[in-house]
């Protein structure tokens, strides 16, 4: 008799993990905001899962998906402590590691849908202010639709405690991050106008497209260009980009990519990624309220210049996608 994937064979355990890998990646990345740390957590999850398969049969696990999610989330919560320690000595503003929406050709439709379940970079910045448990609960409940009772089993808390964590997280996030109201095409057009003005050093255009209370974060991590503090206000931000354009010139290759679900700019210097620029917009989509620039090469290590994925502008059909967090 052939065994189901949930049996105690090594091959069966491997197949179960592979079947759920994209889900695990999406959940853990939204909890950690780091591709590299997410990959490490998935490796730890794999070792825990296969070790369990070697010790005892897996037939008794009636819901392998829930079991794997529990392993992954708890490894992710443990990893948060290490990330917090690294942050204490980090040079300049820290931003989440950008996740480019570039599915592999062999990915299934379900895999692509799961990988796209990343919240925006701006939302990830807001989630950094939550406690680790609040963030895990928010991600599982708000992004992936887990019920409070399911989350309680994942993090080993009572349903009442989970409801309290969810309430605190939701209130905190909604107070700091209103949802988009503008049509995706409007947001895309505003993004492209800003990028053109910023790279061209056009002060007048920058003053028009930037919101009065705009903030610019640049994450170089002490390894690449980047300010030590965020820049607040339209005047300062416009001067920053104008001066930057003057110093750097036009020697970059600009590509528009989907980053954490939003149309964004990726700059290449030769064959190497130089910066990822993600724009947060006002509710009407007419102005840029936040600019997140990642130049730290360690956070750009997974950014590839794949000519098949290059676009001079965002794909028109993508602009029709639904609103994102």
Per-residue pLDDT of the chain (325 residues; tens, 9 = 90+): 333 444 456 678 889 999 999 999 999 999 999 999 999 999 999 999 988 767 666 777 889 999 999 999 999 999 998 998 988 899 999 999 999 986 555 555 565 555 555 688 989 999 999 999 999 999 999 999 999 999 999 999 999 999 999 999 999 998 887 656 677 788 889 999 999 999 999 999 999 999 999 999 999 998 887 788 999 999 999 999 998 888 766 678 999 999 998 889 999 988 899 999 999 998 888 899 999 999 999 999 989 876 544 444 444 434 344 444 4
In this structure, the answer to whether residues 169 and 216 fall within a common structural domain is no
CATH number at residue 193: 3.10.450.50
In this structure, the answer to whether residues 169 and 243 fall within a common structural domain is no
Q: How many domains does the chain have?
A: 2
| Per-residue pLDDT, 266 | 94
In this structure, the answer to whether residues 195 and 171 fall within a common structural domain is no
The answer to whether 70 and 18 have CB atoms below 8 angstroms apart is no
Inside any domain, residue 210: yes
In this structure, the answer to whether residues 249 and 114 fall within a common structural domain is no
**How far from the centroid of its chain's Cα atoms is residue 224's Cα?**
21
In this structure, the answer to whether residues 232 and 91 fall within a common structural domain is no
In this structure, the answer to whether residues 107 and 218 fall within a common structural domain is no
Residue of 225, 129, 216, 126 whose CA lies nearest to 177:
126
| Per-residue pLDDT, 273 | 93
| Per-residue pLDDT, 183 | 78
The answer to whether 189 and 318 have CB atoms below 8 angstroms apart is no
In this structure, the answer to whether residues 40 and 145 fall within a common structural domain is yes
In this structure, the answer to whether residues 62 and 92 fall within a common structural domain is yes
Inside any domain, residue 111: yes
In this structure, the answer to whether residues 188 and 309 fall within a common structural domain is yes
Inside any domain, residue 325: no
Burial category of 163 from C-beta neighbours within 10 Å (exposed 0-12, middle 13-18, buried 19 and up): middle
Of 128, 156, 176, which marks where a domain is finished? 176
Of 109, 142, 176, which marks where a domain is finished? 176
d(Cα 124, Cα 116) in Å, to the nearest integer? 14
Provide the residue range defining the domain that includes 54: 10-176
| Per-residue pLDDT, 76 | 98
């Amino acid at each position: 008799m052939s065994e189901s994937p949930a049996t105690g064979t090594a091959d069966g355990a491997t197949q179960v993990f592979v079947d759920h890998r994209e889900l695990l990646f999406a959940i853990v990345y939204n909890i950690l905001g780091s591709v590299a740390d997410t990959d490490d957590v998935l490796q730890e999850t794999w070792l825990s899962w296969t070790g369990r398969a070697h010790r005892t049969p897996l037939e008794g696990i009636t819901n392998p998906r829930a079991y794997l999610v529990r392993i992954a989330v708890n490894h992710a919560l443990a990893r948060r402590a290490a990330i917090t320690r690294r942050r204490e000595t980090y040079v300049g503003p820290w931003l989440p590691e950008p996740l480019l929406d570039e599915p592999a050709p062999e990915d299934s439709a379900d895999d692509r849908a799961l990988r796209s379940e990343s919240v925006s970079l701006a939302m990830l910045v807001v989630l950094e202010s939550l406690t680790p448990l609040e963030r895990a609960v928010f991600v599982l409940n708000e992004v992936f639709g887990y019920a409070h009772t399911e989350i309680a089993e994942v993090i080993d808390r009572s349903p009442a405690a989970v409801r309290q964590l969810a309430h605190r997280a939701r209130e905190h996030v909604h107070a700091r991050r209103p949802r988009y109201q503008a049509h995706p095409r409007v947001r895309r057009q505003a993004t492209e106008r800003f990028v053109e003005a910023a790279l061209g050093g056009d002060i007048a255009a920058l003053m028009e497209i930037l919101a009065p209370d705009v903030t610019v974060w640049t994450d170089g991590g002490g390894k690449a260009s980047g300010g030590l503090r965020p820049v607040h206000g339209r005047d300062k931000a416009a001067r920053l980009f104008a001066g930057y354009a003057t110093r750097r010139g036009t020697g970059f290759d600009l590509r528009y990519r989907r980053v954490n679900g939003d149309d964004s700019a990726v700059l290449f210097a030769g064959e190497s990624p130089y910066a990822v620029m993600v724009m947060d917009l006002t509710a009407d989509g007419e102005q840029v309220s936040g600019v997140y620039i990642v130049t730290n090469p360690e956070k750009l290590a997974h950014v590839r210049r794949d000519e098949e994925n290059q676009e001079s502008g965002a794909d028109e059909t993508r602009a029709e996608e639904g609103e994102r967090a």
